[in-house]
Amino acid sequence: MVIDIPFIWVAFKEIAKAIPLTLMLAIIPVVIGFFIGLVVTLIREYKVKGLYSIANGYVSFFRGTPAIMHIMLIYFGIPMVLDSIINSLNLPYETNKIPIYLYVIFALSLTAGAYLSEIIRSGISSVAKGQMEAAYSIGMSTPQAMGRILLPQALAMSIPNFTNLSVGFLHTTSIAFLVSQKELTGMANIVASSNLKFLESFIAAGLIYWGISIIMEGIYYLIEKRVQQYSKGGVA
Amino acid sequence: MISISNLHKKFGKNEVLKGINIQIDKGDVISILGPSGSGKTTLLRCINYLERPDEGTITIDDVTIDSKKVHKKDVYQLRRKSAMVFQSYNLFQHKTVLQNVMEGLVVVQKVNVKEAREIALEMLKKVGLEQKVDAYPLQLSGGQQQRVGIARALALNPEVILFDEPTSALDPELVGEVLDVIRKISREGITMIIVTHEMNFAKEVSNRVIFMDGGVVVEEGVPNDIFRTPKEDRTKQFLKRMTPELEYSI
Amino acid sequence: MGKVFDPSLILEFIPTLVKYLGVTLEILVASIFLGTIIGIAAAIPKLFHIPIVKQLVTIYISFIRGTPIIIQLFLVFYGLPAVLSIINIDISRMDALYFVIITYSLSNGAIFAEIFRGAISAVEFGQTEAAYSIGMTPFQNFTRIVFPQAIRVAFPNIANTVIGSLKDTSLAFTIGVMDMMGRGETIIAATAHALEVYIALSVVYYVVVLILEKGFKVFEKYANRYRGTDTSVA
């Protein structure tokens, strides 16, 4: 068996068409997950009655199980729940018309929410206690102190973790091919089996993922440099 | 016993030591004074070869190193003749107080553990920390950590102990306990070189004072002469700034 | 998805799946062990700035960190036999399990290399100076002073990597390994009760992760006993 190097380029061009879907599956869940994570963090920080243990259980379970389980549980579970609602109310909808990528996005948003909640929480705990006290001392309310003092610093400190998580989620989208999504891995699989050139196709896919990962890290690096200017210190 | 000759050290283009010559006898307690950036700490670190000088020789006891031809073995030999007490203590954070003091004895000097423990306990008693043998460094105050640092150095029974601003990192109320320990051991005939900003302490504890500025030894002599009748203008200015309460004739 | 959801099946599936937990753990233990060795070997050229090797290691780490584990798995599965066939070694009939172990070892190795390097640089240089000042050799300094402290810094990250790696083993079935997940897929093929199987699998993975987390926590508490500033403060 010889590696067909020119075919890598052919496969590359074909597989690259799946970049938009991959980015959509990677970015939307992280954005939705950010808001889930924020809400969950606040529930856990302020020990909101009733919701506190649910929030803890949610974070623990989603961090403690593989993401592929989340996709499968949502992909098989949600239609079942929806079908029983539709049937009992006699609604004119069909769950099999729901595009699969919505399940994937929903599942990965829940996954991202759990991880982001931990990231935001550790960011908050790394902000000095005196910051909140100083905010109170000038008469801020708790939401003001949170929103204007604590969170901006906590999020700025969390940027390296956000980077890792985002790149991690780009990679996690590869399992969407198991529910027949034509994202990068799914497309690579198709190109591979229809041309019987497996290695070449996956080399091409690997190069694309690698490239996107490096670009993502670069973007975050620029953001980090801009955002964390205040923490540079220096001699005054 | 200790002899430093023609020592030069550059950091980039900045020449920090410009030819230092010092002779030290056994039992001497030397204080090195001088403004920040005068090269005092670098000199000390060169004596322990934590910095490698660009030029010059260092002799402690029977070990001599010429910076032109440095052998690893000689460096180890030289370091065994000396011990260092750091400004920021540098205790081994993952080891207890007792283990910190025993470490050099067991690992470097190959003393057996039982004997090393006895020596370590004795040294810790000397610095007044026999109650803290099982504590970890981060559980101690700065003053206590520095006393452990001194015990660690003492335990090795070196030819010379080098003190690099041992009280500079301490809160003012903790300086006294460390100086008391150094004062105590200075009476035991151990050779010591102390870089310090504590003028009164230097005056009281040392039998010779070296004043450095701009990478050279400006003046040296017994404390009474240096503090009361300094000859060089740079020494006068420095002492005037540091010890407004000291009187000296001009 | 055709069949009606039957919760009792979940309990029925769990014992069947647990029988295959051994394969999952075999992949995990082997790849963590080999990954540690690779990680140490890869961290050394970066710590000591060995030219060329250092650049190669950087590319290796960047590639592993820049690609999904499933792509790495496919590359090893299809690529290794191709590469070895050049020197007339035929491994195309090798058990898929070994391809998985090789892939996960390479993946963990890159992650460990970064963890080790970071942890070693995190130990203050003053510790090394103190070691030298009492006459230690660089080797003694590394083994007795730097490494024990670095391993404690690295531990939380190592624990995370182990747990992440356990979760990643759930993809081994894609090249035909009969681990817990692989067995789950065959149950689905036979019974069409997919949701019940995935719930059962989730429960098993979750319990294993909880046990690992608990174990790591106990160990970490022990390893970090010297960090507490609240005991016996003067």
Mean pLDDT value across residues B106-125: 93
Size of interface B-C (CB pairs under 8 A): 86
Contact C133 B79 (CB under 8 A): yes
Of C131, C148, C234, the CB nearest to B141: C234
- CA within 13 Å, CB half, C87: 3
Gap from A40 CA to chain C (nearest CA, Å): 20
Dihedral through CA C182, CA C184, CA C186, CA C191, nearest 10?
Answer: -170
Torsion angles phi and psi, residue B28, rounded to 5: -65, 140
Of C127, C227, C231, the CB nearest to B92: C127
Alpha carbon distance A82, A76 (integer Å) = 11
Q: Which residues in chain C (37-76) have CB-CB distances under 8 A to chain B?
A: none
Residue type, B185: I
Instruction: Report the DSSP beta bridge partners of residue C106.
Output: none
Contact B79 C135 (CB under 8 A): yes
Of C136, C227, C233, the CB nearest to B107: C136
pTM over 0.90: no
Q: Tell me what pLDDT residue B116 has.
A: 94
Mutate to test the interface with C, among A167, A173, A202 (most CBs of C within 10 A): A202
Q: Using an 8 Å Cβ cutoff, are C112 and C33 in contact? A: no
Inter-axis angle of helices A100-125 and A51-64, to 10 degrees?
Answer: 110
The list of chain C residues with pLDDT below 50 reads 1, 229-234
For C169, name the nearest residue in chain A, comparing CA atoms only.
Answer: A66
Mean pLDDT value across residues B45-74: 90
For B102, name the nearest residue in chain C, comparing CA atoms only.
Answer: C134
Burial class of residue A86, CB neighbours in 10 A (0-12, 13-18, 19+): middle
Q: What ipTM did this prediction achieve?
A: 0.88
What Å distances lie between residue A80 and A89, A171, B24, C9, CA to CA? 14, 28, 89, 16
Alpha carbon distance C234, C232 (integer Å) = 6
Q: Over chain A (236 residues), what is each successive 10-residue block's mean pLDDT?
A: 83 94 95 95 88 94 95 93 86 83 95 95 84 75 82 87 92 93 93 91 95 94 79 46
Structure tokens at C151: 């391993």
Alpha carbon distance B112, B106 (integer Å) = 6
Of A77, A79, A171, the CB nearest to C68: A171
C152–B contact, CB cutoff 8 A: yes
Q: Tell me what pLDDT residue A229 has.
A: 63
Alpha carbon distance C61, A9 (integer Å) = 24
Q: Using an 8 Å Cβ cutoff, are B91 and B137 in contact? A: yes
Gap from A144 CA to chain C (nearest CA, Å): 33
pLDDT of B160 strictly over 90: yes
Contact A72 C194 (CB under 8 A): yes
Residue C110: helix, strand or coil by DSSP?
A: helix
B200–C contact, CB cutoff 8 A: no
C130–B contact, CB cutoff 8 A: yes
Structure tokens at A209: 């993922």
C145–B contact, CB cutoff 8 A: yes
Mutate to test the interface with C, among B94, B95, B168 (most CBs of C within 10 A): B94
Alpha carbon distance B128, B144 (integer Å) = 9
C218 contacts: CB under 8 Å, gap ≥ 6: none
Torsion angles phi and psi, residue B46, rounded to 5: -70, -35
C228–A contact, CB cutoff 8 A: no
| C81 contacts on A by Cβ (under 8 Å) | 1
Q: Using an 8 Å Cβ cutoff, are B155 and B101 in contact? A: yes
In 3D space, the residue among A149, A127, A125 whose CA is nearest the CA of residue A138 turns out to be A149
Q: Tell me what pLDDT residue B191 has.
A: 94
Q: Tell me what pLDDT residue B21 has.
A: 94
For C1, name the nearest residue in chain A, comparing CA atoms only.
Answer: A76
What Å distances lie between residue C199 and A54, A71, C10, C100, C195, CA to CA? 18, 11, 7, 24, 6
Alpha carbon distance A190, A198 (integer Å) = 9
Gap from A122 CA to chain C (nearest CA, Å): 14
Alpha carbon distance C28, B138 (integer Å) = 36
| Strand duo B29-33 + B191-195: pairing | parallel
For C224, name the nearest residue in chain B, comparing CA atoms only.
Answer: B94
Question: DSSP for chain A?
Answer: ----HHHHHHHHHHHHTTHHHHHHHHHHHHHHHHHHHHHHHHHHHTT-TTHHHHHHHHHHHHHHS-HHHHHHHHHHHHHHHHHHHHHHHT-S--GGGS-HHHHHHHHHHHHHHHHHHHHHHHHHHTS-HHHHHHHHHTT--HHHIIIIIIHHHHHHHTHHHHHHHHHHHHHHGGGGGGGT--SHHHHHHHHHHHHT-HHHHHHHHHHHHHHHHHHHHHHHHHHHHHHGGGGG----
Instruction: Report the DSSP beta bridge partners of residue B30.
Output: B193, B208
Contact A69 C213 (CB under 8 A): no
Q: Using an 8 Å Cβ cutoff, are A173 and A29 in contact? A: no
C6 contacts: CB under 8 Å, gap ≥ 6: C193, C196
Q: Tell me what pLDDT residue C229 has.
A: 45
Q: Tell me what pLDDT residue C3 has.
A: 65
Beta strands in chain B (DSSP E): 2-11, 14-24, 29-33, 55-60, 63-66, 82-85, 160-164, 191-195, 208-213, 216-221
B109–C contact, CB cutoff 8 A: yes
Torsion angles phi and psi, residue B186, rounded to 5: -65, -20
